[in-house]
């Protein structure tokens, strides 16, 4: 089906949204077309999620109007939009961990027997059909809290698909998915297009946008700066519309000497609850001022390795030294005090207390250092908060606002700032650019290089080849819990990295 102007199903016309004096959207308009993918792109804080929340009924516009099939509509709540055939896959997961996958998929619209009792068997059967379509490899009776974050993302997508919606909005749906899972999602989206479903797709991964999009709309500072057919644009055009210039170059590191090892890991092991090892005899070291990148796909054991190093798994075994000091018997708090700090992959669940302010989140791990006996020193706290906001370019009108009021990328910067306030010797970073746009990513990467130049050892894990090649001094490749290769950046290519991860995976399966 080819989508043209006659296929416009929904239009946001001259929409403005104001929060407590802050203008999130300024006279913004967008057309959503039947049987086509409209991609929405912009830096963090540009207004993408606000625009989509207005379409999904989560927020209401201050000015402007929504036209559905050419008629004015008003959505006072998400249920109003859902009743009109609009659903949204949110970037921040909206699941209940103590319920099963099937119960989450059919939450608030349960399949009943006799309009009284929930028909769990039918729900699980229907959920299994959807999960099989997504090639998720997840049983519908599993508890959501037992799933990896990438699997939870697939459950969110399954919820939207189960609604048989006319319009589906995907907000950063691939941020926690492996390359294989992304391919499956794109096949599902192609199938939905053939059925005439309108797709809105938000992502910071420009190669995804070009690959999947039919139309593109770009936002900057709440205003639409460009709308085009995807066939008429390239990456440079997109970046120019987003940030007003060509891409920022963060790939050239400043040369500096490395010091002595600040982190030594020997034979780190973590048993799986289902048997086998999630982390299988992993050994490596990191020198002061060095960035050690670990590449691997979801399930490779990367996140679990960082959690073992910081002491989150008491059952883990192996030897960890920080600047020559043995921390094997130390708990997480003692390891942080010894100089370790972890930036987790899931900022909402593990990195932030969303009911607290931006300032409180930044200082949360440094209260002992900022306190005098039993009381905080407000002047010292305010000075450190202001310094973190300035250094990390956190976009916030005021630091006493709730951290939940920030965009995803700015929330990530708060998590990074909180870790830096502990004054670590070693910074462990799990997917530090997840959900971060081009400009914010450049800020974070420049910060990493500056910290390394100041003598901090950095370990970061990623499934992005460009990132690991651009930032790392040495690169480790993980597959199926094992560190299958370690190379200097100058002596390894992208092909070598992918080959090592695949060969390691095949060897592990054969074993």
List pLDDT tens digits, range 403-446.
888 877 788 888 888 888 888 999 999 988 776 666 667 777 88
Q: Name the residue with higher pLDDT: 86 or 6.
A: 86
The whole-angstrom separation of Cα 103 and Cα 96 is 9
Residue 241: pLDDT over 50: yes
pLDDT band at 21 (very low <50, low <70, confident <90, very high): low
pLDDT band at 171 (very low <50, low <70, confident <90, very high): confident
Residue 357: pLDDT over 60: yes
Give the sign of the dihedral formed by CA 372, CA 378, CA 384, CA 385.
positive
* Averaged pLDDT, 380-403: 85
CA angle 72, 212, 469 (to 5 degrees): 130
- pTM exceeds 0.75, yes or no: no
The whole-angstrom separation of Cα 23 and Cα 153 is 30
The whole-angstrom separation of Cα 458 and Cα 472 is 9
The whole-angstrom separation of Cα 105 and Cα 93 is 12
Q: What is the pLDDT of residues 102-123, one digit of tens each?
A: 999 998 888 888 777 888 999 9
- Residue 339: what pLDDT? 93
Buried b (16+ CB within 10 A) or exposed e, 107-138: eeeebeeeeeeeebeebbebbbebbeebebeb
pLDDT, averaged across the chain:
85
Q: What is the pLDDT of residues 67-107, one digit of tens each?
A: 999 999 999 998 899 899 998 887 767 788 899 999 999 98
* Averaged pLDDT, 482-499: 86
């Amino acid at each position: 089906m080819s989508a043209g102007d006659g296929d416009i199903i929904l239009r946001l016309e001259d929409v403005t949204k104001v929060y407590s004096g802050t203008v999130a959207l300024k006279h913004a308009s967008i057309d959503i077309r039947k049987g086509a993918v409209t991609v929405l792109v912009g830096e963090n804080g540009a207004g993408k999620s606000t625009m989509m929340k207005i379409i999904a009924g989560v927020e209401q516009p201050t000015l402007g109007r929504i036209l559905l099939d050419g008629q004015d509509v008003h959505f006072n709540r998400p249920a109003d939009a859902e009743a009109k055939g609009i659903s949204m896959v949110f970037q921040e997961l909206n699941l209940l961990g103590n319920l099963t996958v099937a119960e989450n998929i059919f939450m608030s619209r349960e399949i009943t027997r006799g309009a009284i009792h929930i028909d769990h068997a039918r729900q699980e059967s229907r959920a299994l059909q959807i999960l099989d379509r997504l090639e998720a490899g997840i049983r519908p009776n599993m508890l959501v809290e037992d799933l990896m974050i990438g699997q939870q993302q697939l459950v969110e997508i399954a919820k939207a698909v189960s609604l048989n919606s006319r319009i589906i909005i995907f907000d950063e749906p691939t941020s926690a998915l492996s390359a294989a899972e992304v391919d499956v999602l794109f096949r599902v989206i192609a199938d939905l297009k053939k059925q005439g479903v309108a797709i809105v797709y938000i992502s910071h991964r420009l190669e995804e946008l070009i690959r999947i999009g039919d139309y593109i709309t770009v936002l900057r500072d709440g205003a639409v700066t460009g709308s085009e057919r995807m066939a008429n644009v390239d990456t440079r055009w997109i970046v120019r519309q987003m940030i007003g210039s060509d891409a920022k170059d963060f790939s050239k590191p400043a040369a500096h000497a490395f010091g002595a090892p600040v982190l030594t890991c020997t034979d780190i092991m973590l048993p799986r609850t289902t048997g086998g090892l999630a982390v299988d005899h992993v050994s490596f070291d990191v020198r002061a001022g060095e960035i050690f990148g670990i590449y691997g796909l979801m399930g490779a054991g990367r996140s679990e390795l960082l959690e073992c190093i910081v002491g989150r798994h008491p059952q883990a075994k192996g030897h960890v030294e920080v600047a020559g000091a043995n921390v094997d018997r130390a708990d997480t708090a003692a390891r942080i005090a010894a100089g370790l700090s972890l930036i987790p992959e899931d900022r909402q669940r593990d990195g932030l207390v969303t009911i607290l302010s931006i300032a409180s989140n930044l200082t949360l791990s440094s209260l002992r250092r900022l306190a005098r006996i039993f009381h905080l020193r407000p002047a010292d706290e305010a000075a450190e908060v202001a310094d973190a906001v300035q250094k990390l370019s956190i976009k916030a009108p005021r630091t006493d606002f709730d951290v939940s009021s920030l965009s995803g990328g700015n929330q990530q910067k708060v998590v990074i700032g909180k870790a830096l306030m502990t004054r670590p010797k070693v910074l462990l970073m799990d997917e530090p650019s997840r959900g971060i746009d081009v400009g914010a990513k450049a800020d974070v990467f420049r910060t990493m290089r500056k910290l390394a130049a100041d003598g901090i050892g950095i370990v970061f894990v990623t499934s992005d080849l460009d990132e690991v090649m651009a930032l790392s001094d040495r690169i480790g490749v993980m597959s199926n819990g094992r560190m299958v290769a370690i190379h200097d950046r100058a002596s390894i290519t992208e092909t070598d990295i992918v080959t090592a991860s695949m060969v390691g995976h095949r060897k592990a399966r054969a074993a």
